[in-house]
Amino acid sequence: MKPIARAAKCFLLLLAISSITTHAQWKYEPSAENKKNRAWFQDARFGLFIHWGVYSVLGDGEWVMNQQMIPIRNYEKIPAFFNPTEFDPKAWVQIAKAAGMKYITITSKHHDGFAMWDSKVSDYNIVKQTPYGKDVLKMLADECHKEGIRLFFYHSQLDWHHPDYFPRGFTGGSWTGRAENGDMNKYLDYMDAQLTELLTQYGDIAGIWFDGMWDKKDADWRLAKTYKLIHQLQPGTLIGSNHHVAPYEGEDFQMFEKDLPGYNTTGFAPEQKIGDLPKETCETINHSWGFNLKDDKHKSRKELIQYLVKAAGYDANFLLNVGPMPNGKIQPEHIERLTQMGEWLTLNGETIYGTRGGPLTARHWGVTTQKGNTVFIHVLNWTDESLVIPSWGKKIKSAKLFVDNTPVKFLENEYGITFKIPKSKMDDVDTIIELEMK
Ligand code: FHN
């Protein structure tokens, strides 16, 4: 091998090792504010996920550019059609509040690379490229801060538009029309610059929800640099990354996509290990994240409420998604579902907010949540009047139905705890037994 090639090879190896070692050696110590925000996050339990962008115009979900292999020169025509004149951040925030949600996570930039704010780093943004011309993230951030709803920004690391997102991953190939070259570090500098805008011009940002590393699993994403930058700009900001593996140093929460922690029904996360960070499960109401004209497979009120309760039983938050329409409105079927969840939480929120999962892990009949000396048994899938559950080493002082304080008979013995639930008192969605422990 020629001496110059050998030197280059050693240099690249050194570079790789230095980046790996730096991240591996780096020990992240979350700030006191960050730890406080983690506790707030776990108490919050329920948030609104919003996938909104110029792709909404085509009504075929947020992956339409890749699915239909729309070259950049064609896709760049879409922003001119994006004019959400009926966008009303007040209405969105009220819908979230009425649903019982405590925070909103909105797509600042999705895989198509289009910025939904007034970015000075790139003209490929809503202010420069659309007839609407307004910074929707600013409008939403102001309303959230006013209404006490915390705001997270979803931000895609994967980018089908930027020329320096190179080498390409398993998506966004040559059909984009980009030249087969580029400098990934330049792209990451660009990403860090846009993140700096988002963390310096929109007030308190509760978190950054990264997505897309899975497009290039083995690439050097310079995570330490980006994570340090974020915590320098806002130490309390919670960083999470939907990379489907165990949390990396510097992350503050762990998300599970379309699955409860520990499951892999989607096939996304064969290697995903559950870390010891606050957890969040994200899910769609129908089968789409971005607005999809054809998708009317909306989950039922019961399915969605039970999903929220199960997530709490797995000690995880529930981040439920809407894909607003190109006119800026959230589709009525989704507003209806969210309102129904809010009505349930108005009555039963005490058994979810501020609780932690346990003391029992999830069972076929349901889950448990706990707060202080109180345990809530959520009977989700059981029809018999007698229910036997394992004991967990603490004695019960009293048992009653949460809905109306009706005392519930129970028997504690070596076989566990047997409850007698009057059939007439059973609830089709969630029969909650409130236990006060000794
Ligand atoms: O590709 C994205 C998808 O568009 C959506 O944003 C979801 C949300 O969790 N995450 C990725 C798929 O894993």
What is the per-residue pLDDT across 105-163, written as a single tens digit (0 to 9) for each? 999 999 999 999 999 999 999 999 999 999 999 999 999 999 999 999 999 999 999 99
Looking at per-residue pLDDT, the higher value among 282 and 25 belongs to 282
Task: Tell me which residue of 50, 112, 41, 40 sits closest to 282, measured CA to CA.
Answer: 50
Span from the CA of 62 to the centroid of ligand 1 (angstroms)? 9
Instruction: Answer yes or no: is pLDDT of 1 > 90.
Output: no
How far is it, in rounded angstroms, from Cα 360 to Cα 370? 10
Residue among 288, 289, 317, 322 whose CB has most ligand 1 atoms within 8 A, to mutate: 289
**Residue 343: enclosing H or E segment and its boundaries?**
helix 332-348
Rounded mean pLDDT, 383-397: 97
Distance (Å) from CA 359 to ligand 1 centroid = 32
Summarize pLDDT for 318-365 with one digit per residue, the tens. 999 999 999 999 999 999 999 999 999 999 999 999 999 999 999 999
**Torsion angle of C-alpha atoms 146, 149, 150, 151, degrees rounded to 10:** -80
20 vs 54, higher pLDDT: 54
Tokens of 132: 């609407």
Q: How many CB atoms lie within 10 A of CB 388?
A: 13
Give the pLDDT band (50/70/90) at residue 269.
confident
Q: At what angle do helices 184-198 and 223-233 cross, to 10 degrees?
A: 20
CB burial of residue 142 (10 Å; 0-12, 13-18, 19+): middle
Q: What does the alpha-carbon distance between residue 417 and residue 396 come to, in Å, rounded to a whole number?
A: 9
Structure tokens at 225: 């640099």
Closest residue by CA, ligand 1 atom 3: 289
pTM for the structure as a whole: 0.94
Ligand 1 atom nearest 289 alpha carbon: 5
Distance CA 376, CA 373 (A): 10
Structure tokens at 405: 């304080």
Q: Quick one: pLDDT at residue 2?
A: 63
